[in-house]
Structure 1
Amino acid sequence: MSSLTHAFRRFLPSLHRSLIALAVVACAGAAQADVVVAQVAPFSGPQAVTGRAIHAGVKLYIDSVNARGGVRGQRIKLVTRDDMQQPENTVRLVKEVVQQESPVALIGTVGTTNLEALARDGVLDKQRISMVGAVSGAASVAQSRTLRVVKASYHDEVGSLFKRLSQLGLNRVGVVFQDDGLGKDVNVGVDKAARQYGITIVNSTGYARNTTEVSTAVNNMLKANPQVIFLGATTAAAVQFVKQYGAAGGQATMYGMSIIDTDTLLKALGPDRARGYAFSVVLPLSSKTDREVVREFQRLRETANNPDLSARSMEGFIAAKALVKAIEKAPRLSADAVSTALDSASELDVGGYRLDFTKADRSGSRYVDFAMIGDGGKIVQ
């Protein structure tokens, strides 16, 4: 036997042990791999308050899941990208995060125009990856199979409001809207509901997207003198409108869309100036503990110490719960399998709030109610 052969035979046992060790490490690494969920949203700029609030709700639930061992023994890793509410950034960053992180799903992108851009690009369809909790109530968003909305549509909101106003004998309405995809969808709903319930739109004024420049809208509403002003607006712009309109002596009752963060509005205006502000409710109120999902949200929030948690965070919290249920139901941890699980989710109960993602032409819920800020900043429903 040659010395080379003899040396090789002596080396075989150590090689065998090394290969076994490497296999063990690889298996352990696979067992501990993170399940990635990605959020592309505005974390800076005028809509950062919304992006951060939604993210805080998502994180609140995911942290609780990880604290109890994750999903199938694997932690959920939440990765983020800041699109600054710019549609071109949204599309670019979604492609980037899908390529770099291989998430099983996306969650909580904010803005009708941003989500419409994603739908047009088709990146989610090509990758067979779903987004849960797309933050928009526009029909164009709900009609996309990969964008799952966890609340009622803007048309549902407007229709319910105008029906109620008609019953109260209030038929002179002004509309303030964001001049983009959000405002376009809101106005379609406004026109339809106004005809249906005999409402007269005395003035309709837009403001530029990603700004809080609402002085023209304030002046137009003061001149038109409506009984009710419907705010198809985002949080920062709505706060400025309510502040400026009230300072100028405006007397109309304000009805804000559900996307306006009432915690932020109340903090900015104070309880006296915010009193009487009414708004749509399309998700369980965080102050009303008759549903398990609200009690869970409040229990976790008490120890979270996250300043970004607000009323808007409930949307992110519910989206995260729905997504985790889909991940648990999926036969394997892949984007395609999670999307398939969502396709068949017809009675997805996240704690007294049910979602149905099987309808291709509408959002996951049609629940609409109303509430108002009362004395001392208390929410009255």
Structure 2
Amino acid sequence: MKKTSPPVRLGRATLAVAALLSVLATPTWAQLRIGQTAGFSGAVAAGVKETTDGAKLYFDAVNAKGGINGQKIELESLDDKFDPKLAAENARTLINDRQVLSLFLNRGTPHTQAILPLLDEFKVPLVAPSTGAMALHKPANPWLFNVRAPYQRESERAVQHLSLIGIERIGVVHVDDSFGADLLEGAQKGFATVGKTPLFIEKFDRAKPDYSRLAPLVASSGAQAVLFIGSGAAVADGIAAIRKAGSRAQIITNSNNASGGFVKSLGANATGTIVTQVFPNERSLAAAIVKEAGDLAKAKGLEGLSPAMLEGYAAAKVLVAGLQRAGANPTRAKLRDALEGLKKLDLGGLELGYGPNDHTGLEFVDLSIIDESGRFRR
């Protein structure tokens, strides 16, 4: 007769070890460690510093009040020099070596696209990439949560505004990468809605911009306005080249350049440049988010806010709201679910909500012009 083995009975000590191993298999964080890779040096350094400073305003305020469930938020930032390949390498380091709970506030469209495969591979959320690329909105990526409005709406609005004020001859200059292509698509929608065609469409290399051919072309075209799509230093250099070639065309660029550092880089060419915006006027105290961030900036002895700082501040508010809802022992998966559960989050006069098929965040788009004092005026 075949004997059957008696059931295995586990002692209390064995069960305790098994329970401990189960807990360890799903990591939790003693500190709420958040990872950021962005171009702290290179073409977008000024804007990156300002968005990060804005985020730290809110993180520091939360930490000063005890953090979240007694845990302090720790932001670990790595410089990717605005290089997509390095951005992906940094993200992998932050995920695996630094064991961050979430990625946060990286900069750039091709850079975000380089990071995307890691989100699904390691089941880690990315909150508030500092880019409005439509590819990051549709279809919704389950691990990516946008905060700012899509770029295409900015460039569409820019062309519509120029047409509305009577400008007929509008040219487009854009960086030759996925960011430039995305914004160009929005501009084309704008031209279609006003029944116009662009006077010209010219592109430049992202790594090594050369305006020796492009600047004379713009000057000789008779363009009344140029939509200049690119990042920081490249746009400032391009505007300088266009002006030197003799063009007095109205320049309009996008919110990725809505920083005080960008204004300084323009020098004498700053006044009159139009910049699209995706957050309320940084000096409008009627917007609760502006007053709140402004008070914190003043308490830290900062001169004031910039649009880029407001972007970082809003991004931090969204991440904190997710962390608060993720519970006392957050995991990457719990944070992802908590973020997707945000339906009507009031950021201070701006309402944000997500759902399974909608990770867009905000829809706000406005226009500003740089005045003689170097400030953005609405």
TM over 0.5: yes
Change (3 A) 1:129 1:249: same
- Cα shift at 1:62: 0.9
* 1:238-257 alignment, distance < 5 Å: 238-257=235-254
> Alpha carbons of 1:359 and 1:210: their partners in 2 closer, same or farther (altered >3 Å)?
farther
Give yes or no for contact 1:118–1:124 (8 Å, CA) kept in 2: yes
Counterpart contact for 1:212–1:236, Cα < 8 Å = no
- AA of the residue aligned to 2:319: L
Task: Structure 2 unaligned segments of length 5 or more: list them.
Answer: 1-26
TM-score (norm 1): 0.85
- With over 3 angstroms needed to count, the CA separation of the structure-2 counterparts of 1:297 and 1:245, relative to structure 1, is same
| Paired position in structure 1 for 2:71 | 74
Cα offset, 1:126, TM superposition: 2.7
Structure 1 or 2: more helix by fraction: 1
Measure, in 2, the Cα distance between the counterparts of 1:44 and 1:95: 20
Asked if structure 2 preserves the Cα contact closer than 8 Å seen for 1:373 and 1:379, the reply is yes
Query: What is the identity percentage for the equivalent residue pairs of Structure 1 and Structure 2?
Result: 27
State how 1:251-270 maps to structure 2 within 5 Å.
251-270=248-267
* Residue among 354, 358, 364 paired with 1:357: 354
Please give the alpha-carbon distance, in whole angstroms, between the structure 2 residues aligned to 1:233 and 1:129. Answer: 29
2:146 to 146, 149, 159: 149
SS of 1:185 mapped into structure 2: helix
Distance apart, 1:262 and its partner CA: 4.1
- Deviating 4+ runs (over 4 angstroms): 305-310
The number of aligned residues is 349
Distance 1:31 1:150, change over 3 A: closer
Secondary structure in 2 matching 1:312:
helix
Distance in 2 (alpha carbons) for counterparts of 1:43 and 1:371: 25
**Aligned residue in 2 for 1:6:** none
Matches within 5 A, 1:35-46: 35-46=32-43
User: Of 203, 206, 215, which aligns to 1:206?
Assistant: 203
Counterpart CA distance in 2 for 1:259 and 1:341 is: 28
2:220 alignment partner, one of 215, 223, 226: 223
Q: Is the alpha carbon distance of 1:95 and 1:215 closer, same or farther for their aligned partners in structure 2, counting shifts above 3 Å?
A: same
Which letter does structure 1 place at the counterpart of 2:282?
S
* Paired amino acid for 2:325: K
Name the SS of the counterpart of 2:60 in structure 1: helix
Matched, 1:302 2:303: no
Match 2:270 to one of 268, 271, 274: 274
- In structure 2, relative to structure 1, the CA distance for the partners of 1:145 and 1:228 (3 Å cut) is farther
Conserved? CA contact 1:39–1:80, under 8 Å: yes
Q: CA deviation at 1:333?
A: 1.3
Moved more, 357-366 or 312-321: 357-366
Q: Partner of 1:279: helix, strand, or coil?
A: strand
Q: Does 1:340 align with 2:340?
A: no
Q: Does 1:326 align with 2:358?
A: no
- Matched to 2:161, the amino acid is R
* Counterpart for residue 122 of structure 2: 127
SS across alignment from 1:229: strand
8 Å contact kept, 2:293–2:310: yes
Partner of 2:192: 195
Q: CA RMSD in A?
A: 2.4
Paired position in structure 2 for 1:11: none
The TM-score with structure 2 as length reference comes to 0.85
